[in-house]
Amino acid sequence: MHWVYERVAPHADVGKAGKIWPTMLKTLLREINPGANVGALCNKAVAGVLPFSPRAALHYEELKAQSNENAMALLPEARNFVMSGQTRKEAFERSCLLAAASNVAPISSPSAAYTFQEIGSIIRGGISSRFYTGDVYDTVRGACRVLYVADNAGEIGFDSLVIDVLKELGAKVTLVVKGSTFFEDATLDDARFFGIDGKVDQLVTAEGFFAPCEISSELREAFGRCDLVVGKGTGTYEALHGEMGGKPLVIMLKVKCRPIARQTGALEGEVVVGLD
């Protein structure tokens, strides 16, 4: 609720900001139950309050464009960092570390475009810490069809590095982005900005977080065909956790709150690349 409110309220029409909380509460009281999918709940909350804030889309499109430019400026160095790995496994781990560390979106509304300073520190040797759970590389190496669920604009540029390695390993990759503006999340335009549409085998869209319980027929088909899912970001993790139907899930995110820290076993602020 905090995540949605902070992103919608500053851009709400005069006199309508006071309707945001009651609208979200009605949605949650109607939908919440012990087995509710957190991502699906968030999608319903966003759909209920976005009409109060018609200027939000323009605001986030401007921020996303700046974030994309900032990421693009770092990509040549980032690509060299990945390619300098001594083995394919090390190259894969390096690409995942950058993709996960680029997941910098805060719980509150972003006040400016993302500059990805931590990425610069990693590729220049300033930060070497990483947090892995399970043997991600062996799981990925055995996958034939990978469903890659992107998160934010800007950081999707670093996702392209992971996708490059997945393709080198022989996997067919389907990329999932948002179909329309969903705050700072990546859309088709952001994927095209980095040329990822030419890298992947299929590009599909979701309206909100990719929650398997409420996806389109195209997404359901892509999910059914894949034998591995890579999920970027907290919202994606919350939408997919416990909903995989036996398929392996690789999560890549930066831990920003105590509940996710407890679930992943990592500390707040740590980067997580692991098997869920």
CATH, residue 201: 3.40.50.10880
Cα-atom radius of gyration of the chain, to the nearest Å? 18
User: Is the per-residue pLDDT at 113 higher than 80?
Assistant: yes
Q: For a pLDDT cut of 90, what percent of the chain falls above it?
A: 69
**Whole-angstrom distance, CA of residue 245 vs CA of residue 233:** 20
Same domain (yes/no): 86, 22: no
Are residues 158 and 119 in contact, defined by beta-carbon separation less than 8 angstroms? yes
Could you tell me if 141 and 201 lie in one domain?
yes
Cα distances (angstroms) measured from residue 197 to each of 19, 71, 176, 204: 39, 17, 11, 10
Judged on CB neighbours under 10 Å (0-12, 13-18, 19+), 57 is: middle
* Mean pLDDT, residues 250-270: 91
Angle between helices 156-168 and 88-101 (to 10 degrees): 160
CB 121 within 8 A of CB 195: no
Domain that holds residue 124: 58-275
Q: What percent of the chain has pLDDT over 70?
A: 99
Whether 45 and 110 map to the same domain: the answer is no
Question: In terms of domains, do 27 and 99 share one?
Answer: no
Q: End of a domain among 33, 54, 75?
A: 54
Q: Are residues 223 and 99 in the same domain?
A: yes
45 & 65 share domain: no
pLDDT at 193 over 90: yes
- Asked if residue 176 and residue 49 are part of one domain, the reply reads no
User: What average pLDDT does the segment 201-205 reach?
Assistant: 96
Which pLDDT does position 2 carry in this prediction?
A: 86
What's the sign of the alpha-carbon dihedral 255, 261, 263, 266? positive
pLDDT of res. 199:
96
Q: Which two tokens stand for residue 11?
A: 């851009």
User: So what's the pLDDT on residue 128?
Assistant: 64
- Are residues 158 and 39 part of one domain? no
Q: Are residues 43 and 179 in the same domain?
A: no
Average per-residue pLDDT for the chain? 92
* Residue closest to 78 by CA, chosen among 152, 164, 201: 164
| Torsional class of 231: left (φ above 0), alpha (ψ -120 to 50), beta (otherwise) | beta
Residue 269's pLDDT band (boundaries 50, 70, 90)? confident
Number of domains forming the structure of the chain: 2
Q: How far apart are CA 25 and CA 78, in angstroms?
A: 43
Detail the DSSP E strand segments found in the chain. 132-133, 145-149, 172-178, 202-206, 228-232, 249-254, 271-275
Kindly state whether residues 166 and 50 are assigned to the same domain: no
141 and 26 in a common domain: no
* pLDDT surpasses 70 at 129: no
* Torsion sign, CA atoms 135, 126, 261, 103: negative
Residues 232 and 217 in one domain: yes
- Say if residue 126's pLDDT is above 80: no
Binned at pLDDT 50, 70 and 90, residue 54 comes out as confident
Pairing state between β 271-275 and 249-254: antiparallel
State CA 212 to chain mean position distance: 15
The pLDDT, as a whole number, for residue 148 is 98
pTM: 0.95
